[in-house]
A and B are shown apart, each in its own frame.
Chain A
Amino acid sequence: MKRPGRHRELWPGLLGVLLAFGVCEAVGRAGLVRRSYLPPASEVLARAVELAGDGAFLDGVGATLKAWALGLGLAVAIAVPLGLLLGSVPVVDSAVRMIVEFLRPLPSVALIPLVSLLLGTGTETKVALITYASVWPVLFNTIYGLGETDPLAKDTLRAFGFGRLSVLLRVELPGTAPFIAAGIRISAAIALILAVATELLAGFGEGLGIFIAQAGLATDGTRDVLAGVVWAGALGLVINGVLVWGERRLFPWTPERRTAGRGGRS
């Protein structure tokens, strides 16, 4: 029953995409807004495809992705052990909570000026910001996931004489892993936001954000700006898709909704 169902969902979806495309095309051609301000969708799409063959552009995208990956990796390396620690020692977790509650709502983009003053406008700044912003979802999801592990499983192992570390590795880590994966998925999107945002503000250097920013300054650059946005969206979709697929493959037994109560981009 599943295959026909999924196919049935495909056609309306395709129609929706075509409709949206058609609307954008019509708005662009109707001259409601001047042609150079808002080019029709076909031109934007053509430019986006053209960019796929542009070596310099692809280098830029590569630079963005490199910073993204590095920042995300660092974030995971910090957040998972920290989360496991905090989650295992409830007193520490509770105590630190107030500090966390103030740091959390701070928009990471607001840190761009500060970090730029501290570290300059190079890749270090970008990576530092990405890491900072990406730490939170993974951290929270790790702590949350730890709290959701089945106490019965833990007690059973302890009854058999396994030590604290053993219990952590054998029961809690596998149980928390799906939550950590969901946290990484959320952080991946945030990391991309920070990467593009930092690049947009830096103005020089290599990256997708740089491309968009420079196109924005050029006359008649809207087409390039929009093409860059299409690329950014596509990147976001691909990253999300790959991570969701990975989650499903690694953890097929868990239900879809695995994000901590607040702030998860589910």
Chain B
Amino acid sequence: MTQAPTPATRRAGNASRRGPVNPAGSTPRQVLLRLLVLLLALALWQAAAQAHGSVYFPPPGRIARRAHELWFSGPVRRAFLTDAAVADVLPSLGRMAAGFGIAAVAGIGAGVAVGRSRWAYALCNPVLQFARAVPPPALVPVFVVVLDFGAPMQIASIAFSAVWPVLVNTAEGVRGTDPLRLDVAAVLRLNPLERLRFLLLPSALPRIFAGLRLSLSLSLILMVFSELLPGTANGVGYTLTDAQSRSDLLTVWAVLLLLGVLGYLLNTALLAVERRLIGRGRSTA
């Protein structure tokens, strides 16, 4: 009845179940090493840029200063945020959060519904695979036509693109619930709500978070992309195209810096939530 997993299958199986990869172990020595390498790379870049004086690759120091000047040199009472930050960065983030939030809720909800019933899964699978295969930027023009430029278009674009990874991963996570545990739930006479709360969702949580991580990166991509289109009025992407049209490379780099940091922070936050909910080292087998 119990199949001893062979080392190969266990490892490969663990690959996707492992979830958040602990960055190669974070002993103080390794963290120091990484920090050193990063600083070294930055220093090299700084030196090379200053020696060359190329306008295309400004030194990191100047980029950081530009970023500070653009967004973080405001009054203390507004957490140092400038007008530009409030007018551009915050709305962008807000739209992304709304889109991602909708995608997460809808994706998990629909995913559970689809994953629970083998029939529903077979029914929806081809349609889902197609929806998932459409490159999300291609959908943005559709939303532009239907909803015209503005926040609803952007939120819809983000939500519609980000929902599929969550949905599919949730469905597959629920579908992969250990059949023995389903028997246990039946024997314990759990009602459907209890089954969802105590078995299906916790069991699928690693897969759900794998989907959420993908959705987060898609949300970021769509947030920027929907604002890159001509016709947008504000936002991080708009700042990019505006700077591009003026050949203001320094601002372009500053926006990239901001996006990199934002992306890193958001991913770290999601990882933290995942660790909190799933806990360390528990066997998800």
Footprint of B on A, CB under 8 Å?
8-9, 12-17, 19-20, 33, 37-38, 91, 93-99, 101-114, 116-118, 144, 148, 150, 189, 192-193, 195-197, 200-201, 208-209, 212-213, 215-216, 221-222, 225-226, 228-229, 232-237, 240, 254-255, 257-266
Contact = CB atoms under 8 A, between A and B. Distances in A.
A147 to B, nearest CB: 10
B127 A20 contact: yes
A208 to B, nearest CB: 8
A113 B221 contact: no
Nearest to B18: A261
Contacts of B13: 255, 257
A113 B210 contact: no
Interface string B123-147: 1111101110111111111101110
Contacts of A102: 38, 260-261, 264
A106 B267 contact: no
A150 B9 CA distance: 12
A201 B129 CA distance: 26
Given A213-B141, A225-B145, A255-B12, A105 B263 contact: yes
Contacts of A225: 141-142, 145
Residue from A97, A107, A265 with most neighbouring chain B CB atoms (10 Å):
A107
Interface stretch (B69-77, B191-199, B250-258): B250-258
Contacts of A208: 138
Contacts of A13: 122-123, 125-126
Contacts of B125: 9, 13, 16
B23 A116 contact: no
A101 to B, nearest CB: 6
A237 B24 CA distance: 34
B156 to A, nearest CB: 13
